[in-house]
Structure 1
Amino acid sequence: MTGIDYQNHRAQLLNDMEVGDLAVIPAGDLVTRNNDVHYRFRQDSDFRHLTGFCEPGSLAVLAKEESGKDRFLLFVPPKDPAREIWDGPRAGVEGALAQFGADEAFELSAIDEQLPKLLENRQRVLYPLGAPIGERIERWRLQLGARVRMGIQAPGHYLDLRGILHEHRLRKNEGEMQVMRRAAQISAEAHRKAMVEGRPGSSENHLEGVIESYFRSEGAERIAYGSIVATGANGCVLHYINNNSRIEDGDMLLIDAGAEVEGYAADITTTWPANGRFGEAQRRIYEAVLDVQQDLVRRVRAGSSFQALNNEAVRQLTAAMQGLGLLDEKASVDDLIESEAYKTYYMHSIGHWLGRDVHDVGSYGPQRNRTFEPGMVLTIEPGIYIPPGDETAPPSLRGLAVRIEDDVLVTEDAPENLTADLPRTAEDIEAFMAQARA
């Protein structure tokens, strides 16, 4: 991402603001891990989207002016040689101007002086409602209200910035698409490396290390979310995070992991046999899920919706569950769907938006019926999970879990599967693992 990309993001927001509006965008803050130790800082997604600035505690302001000369202001931590010895270099006011394109820049200590001036005689203020910055805005509003007899007007309308900004984030431009392709490429290769290393006798935590170290070695900033590395029946826990079990011969691995590159996430799930060969029952459930997943990826088109895709996923998975002996083969698919019998084995939706956040922002519409548009990126991730203690399931299927997830870009025509170069069919997985482990 370049400075031009961030400038375009700001221009997009300013274009949707009314003349006289002021947008106030707070950065993220350091979060305490324990005692006096902080988690590694990750910038607030909205703030980074508009500024590219990654120092904590900062504040950005966009002013839509009647003159037509809109302004971008940054309030940043001051240069501080003593602190920079401990925490690393800061951009300071000069860097905010020269490196990040601010029209005006101030140290953080100037916020309480400058913001009331910026708020004077504005009709509307946009900021993330409910965020801590709201308390300061209210204080500044009261200060302005005390000066009403001097002809100073305080803003009368306060709007949630996210209602506008998150719609912009939902549609990716070419620069963002390129970054997401890179995140997907790094993540897919990490999954392949796990397939090589994940032999019986290894462990979930070893594979977690393999995956996440590869992310970093290839330039990813961090994991996009907590990696799920689940062997055997652990895969039946949708958000399994322990990642500390030994891998046994005959296990399948379900791994859900993605890298974050320049603030954009990938999100991939693979399922494969630890010993390199699917057992008969494993192959049956894997191929049942794969058939559904591949069909739904092809259906990701402009004009479709999560509602339409999930309805199709439920229908196909319900029929597959009947074929596997999990649901009554004599019942109609419609009756099983109406009774929600499928939810015993498929309890989540088909996917979600993907972008700066792994579960990215933007409206899904009522009942998730918003239609897809070119530039949107989403996941397709059907699954079947059979609890080990489910005595109604065929014994050979108990404890098996399969989820298959790809990242898909909506285009003007056929969908672009960003993670399509992973081995997906059972035959391709077995062939890849045999060759890579030879």
Structure 2
Amino acid sequence: MTESAQSTHEVEIDNSNRSTTPDSDLFNSYVSQHWADRPEETPDLHAAAPFAANRRTALGAQFVGERLVIAAGAMKQRSNDTFYQYRAHSAFAHLTGWGSDSEPGAVLVLDPIESETATHEATLYFRERAGRDSDEFFANPEIGEFWIGARPSLAQVSAALGVRTAPLADFAANDADLTLEHTSLARATSELRLVKDTYELAEMQAAVNATATGFDEILAALPRASAHPRGERIVEGVFNQRARLDGNTVGYETIAASGPHACTLHWIHNNGPVLEGDLLLVDAGVEMDSLYTADITRTIPVSGTFSEVQRRVYDAVLEAADAARAIVRPGIRFGDVHEAAMAVIARKTREWGFLPEDDNTAYYRRYMVHGTSHHLGMDVHDCAQARRDMYLDGKLEAGMVFTIEPGLYFQPDDLTVPVEYRGIGVRIEDDIVVTADGCDNLSEDIPRDADAVEAWVQRLRG
């Protein structure tokens, strides 16, 4: 456990050149008095709390006799005395149920105990709110309530999360602790999220539903986007507003890629035009206050109608996505989902005459270099530290959630394809949950096939 993990902020800021607050006993006495009583309300137990308790039990069973320390993390510096919006570490949020309102610098500790019913006792340490008789209340711009608003008490957080709480100052690390920097604990907390419980599945469906609303609003804003030289920023802004209204924020930087920008897999500059006749690829997801996120991609014709070549490419990608989804069921290998999609991509690009005559080399990957699927949850690429035999080579289980997102990307300067294909990029991405006998598409209500997409655009863009 590092010293920084006990801090609420990544760096200590020197405000000596900015502060004009009086510093005298008379002023301090005056500012600490004459405040109305503020009764403390006891919150109800959070819906996530019993699920988080079960997760702690499951984790503790893997580390009997070990003291486990899971830090939320400090606020990260953006520039000088400004910080990025705070988001706790996913493992911390998963094990506490504390989402977007979690306190920077908090630490969850699982202390080993000798008991017939439990292996560990949980304590949540965080820096409690300061009373108005403390100069921190008005003089500390990083944590003072005058600056950042009301903060919870130890009792309130304990009631909401169903876990013992204590002041952060009481936390003491030792050299024998297992922390998230330790490979085995990082791996275990990652693998613990591979199968989602009912609370998690409900949150992920809510995230998808909010994302669907955001996509509708993007289409309604297309005329405005097309009229602006940086129309991709209009698309990004419209979606990000929805994410802040319905959730915590976006789950990752929104990709609003129009025209040839759609061929850049992680295009987040979003500074180009949105032109009639082009395709617009939007890869976006709302993160809920619980920190669960959606991850959806739709590729739409800005004008409302695909050209012949655009539709040919789009239909090939859709066929690949459907082929991958068709095999999803408990017991298959996770990597088989990717291979099912790639079989379609290979066949289509060969039919179009794009590939050299060599069946032993995957030349088609020139046009789709990324994987078809990744687990999804609190992280957009969730469970990333899980062992390969639990992830890529693992068997699917009911409750697993992952994306299916094949694509075809023909770079504007790619001489291996006819000129009419160059600059076309298409990706279709849905969020899938494995069921007892197959799978459900959480995002099935967002139009997917070409005819439905055209009707969707034409209806909403006006």
The answer for the alignment partner of 2:66 in structure 1 is: 21
SS in 2 for 1:161: helix
1:35-89 deviations in whole A, cap 9, x for unaligned? 1000000011111111133101111111231134642112110321411121222
Query: Structure 1 residues 125, 35: CA separation in 2 closer, same or farther (over 3 Å shift)?
Result: closer
Query: Structure 1 residues 24, 429: CA separation in 2 closer, same or farther (over 3 Å shift)?
Result: same
The answer for the alignment partner of 2:456 in structure 1 is: 432
The answer for the alignment partner of 1:97 in structure 2 is: 158
The answer for the alignment partner of 2:304 in structure 1 is: 276
The answer for the alignment partner of 1:257 in structure 2 is: 284
The runs of 4+ residues in structure 1 deviating greater than 4 Å are none
Q: CA deviation at 1:436?
A: 2.4
Q: CA deviation at 1:201?
A: 2.9
Q: CA deviation at 1:367?
A: 9.0
1:323-361 deviations in whole A, cap 9, x for unaligned? 333225xx3xxx34x222112111111110101100001
1:100-151 deviations in whole A, cap 9, x for unaligned? 2223x32122223xx55xx8xxxx7432135xxxxxxxxxxxxxxxxxxxxx
2:119 paired with 1:73: no
Q: Where does the alignment leave 5 or more consecutive residues of structure 1 unmatched?
A: 131-158
Identity of aligned residues (%): 35
2:423 paired with 1:382: no
From 293, 304, 312, give the equivalent of 2:321: 293
**Distance in 2 of aligned mates of 1:314 and 1:357:** 25
Query: Structure 1 residues 91, 377: CA separation in 2 closer, same or farther (over 3 Å shift)?
Result: same
**Distance in 1 of aligned mates of 2:325 and 2:217:** 24
Query: Structure 1 residues 398, 222: CA separation in 2 closer, same or farther (over 3 Å shift)?
Result: same
SS in 2 for 1:213: helix
**Distance in 1 of aligned mates of 2:199 and 2:267:** 33
* Native 8 Å contact 2:297 2:427 kept in 1: yes
The one-letter amino acid of 2:107's match is L
Equivalences for residues 100-179 of structure 1 within 5 A: 100-103=161-164, 105-112=165-172, 115=173, 125-129=177-181, 160-179=184-203
1:184-230 deviations in whole A, cap 9, x for unaligned? 11112212222232244351100111111112222x10100000000
The one-letter amino acid of 1:415's match is C
2:48 paired with 1:2: yes
SS in 1 for 2:408: strand
161-170 or 420-429, larger mean C-alpha shift:
161-170
SS in 2 for 1:375: coil
From 285, 307, 311, give the equivalent of 2:335: 307
The answer for the alignment partner of 1:339 in structure 2 is: 361
| Structure-2-length-normalised TM-score | 0.81
* Native 8 Å contact 2:109 2:122 kept in 1: yes
The one-letter amino acid of 1:179's match is E
* Native 8 Å contact 1:325 1:394 kept in 2: no
| Structure-1-length-normalised TM-score | 0.85
The answer for the alignment partner of 1:400 in structure 2 is: 424
Equivalences for residues 39-78 of structure 1 within 5 A: 39-53=84-98, 54-68=102-116, 70-78=120-128
**Distance in 1 of aligned mates of 2:158 and 2:334:** 42
The answer for the alignment partner of 2:82 in structure 1 is: 37
**Distance in 2 of aligned mates of 1:196 and 1:300:** 34
Give the superposed CA RMSD: 1.9
Equivalent residue pairs, number: 393
1:385-427 deviations in whole A, cap 9, x for unaligned? 0011112211111100001000000111120101011111111
Q: Where does the alignment leave 5 or more consecutive residues of structure 2 unmatched?
A: 1-46, 138-143
SS in 2 for 1:14: helix
**Distance in 1 of aligned mates of 2:444 and 2:390:** 30
2:31 paired with 1:11: no
Higher helix share: 1
**Distance in 2 of aligned mates of 1:266 and 1:197:** 21
Q: CA deviation at 1:380?
A: 0.4
